[in-house]
Amino acid sequence: MNISVLFAQPTKKEPDGKIEKLSKELDVIINHDAKVEVIADGFGWVEGPLWIESKRMLLVSDVLNNTVYKWTPEKGKEVYLEHSGYTGTQPRTEELGSNGLTLNHKGQLLLCQHGDRRVALMNASLDDPKAEYITLANEYKGKKFDSPNDLIVKSNGDIYFTDPPYGLEKGVNNPSKAAPYQGVYKISKNGEVTLLVDSISRPNGIAFFPGEKSLLIANSDGEKPYLYLYDLNKDGLLINGRIFQNDRGTDGIKIDKQGNVFTTGQGGVWIYNKKGTLLGKIKIEGSTSNCAFADNYKTLFITADNYLLKVDLAKKAGH
């Protein structure tokens, strides 16, 4: 989401949150008495939540402040990694920080880096983070990426990621924009980069359905506010593209083990079943950017503007 306008805005009022149930199916996903709780604030624009169970910590990207923060129940919010998305020295004003975060199969941290325009691996342990990175991919056929936004790792180790223009100053009008489209790409285990889709105007969140036979890609374009559903062929390429839902612009996406889809955007988190039926909403004032499951799907963390929030899910959620 393009949120550079937040530089000029004061800290926002703490958001109110409430659960709106539209189907009985929601009862097995969210506790009937669940509360939307603010657990940290003071970010510029918070994104890319990643729960690391082995460390009992949540990592989030502050895109505007070029920093990854960690949150733990014991200590709350702490700086985890500075220069998380831009390692250059030339002053720049766009959204420079990291955005999407995930772990590879070795438990190493992968980052979508807006400022450095690449997907990178942090060349340090999770316990001793450093702004030292290995570039996994920064271009396709000689054309630099714009600002990799969100990413997922397939069970075979392939990395799928989206590349909208939000990290470029002036966006699509930036003279340094290399490709005439916005792409969704795959990085194979051997480092080969494949363009999967070039027809989505603002590709953003991305998530596999259980079984990895299909995936969703969010389009954060107000004129085409769609979630696109694709099947995967035997080579991991995307086929049979169609619209999963078209009633709301979407930023981040997460999908639980039952195939329930949690989508974020203006006004909170919308929850759909795997058939695309809207089950309910976690209504939050302002814009929500993303969410992440924790504690075996018993907890949902939500990033929204400059706030980090938490909601308790049902004990059987995601099973």
Q: What are the contacts of 127-131 at 24+ separation with CB within 8 A?
A: 127/55, 129/68, 129/80, 129/81, 130/81, 131/81, 131/82, 131/83, 131/84, 131/87
pLDDT of residue 249: 78
Low-confidence stretches of the chain (pLDDT beneath 50): 2-11
Residue 254 and residue 150: Cα distance in Å, rounded? 11
pLDDT of residue 126: 98
pLDDT of residue 9: 41
- CATH 1.10.10.10 fits domain 15-312: no
% pLDDT > 90, the chain: 84
pLDDT of residue 319: 58
Residue 171 and residue 264: Cα distance in Å, rounded? 22
Contacting residues for 171 by C-beta, under 8 A, at least 6 apart: 2, 165
pLDDT of residue 214: 98
pTM of the predicted model, to two decimals? 0.93
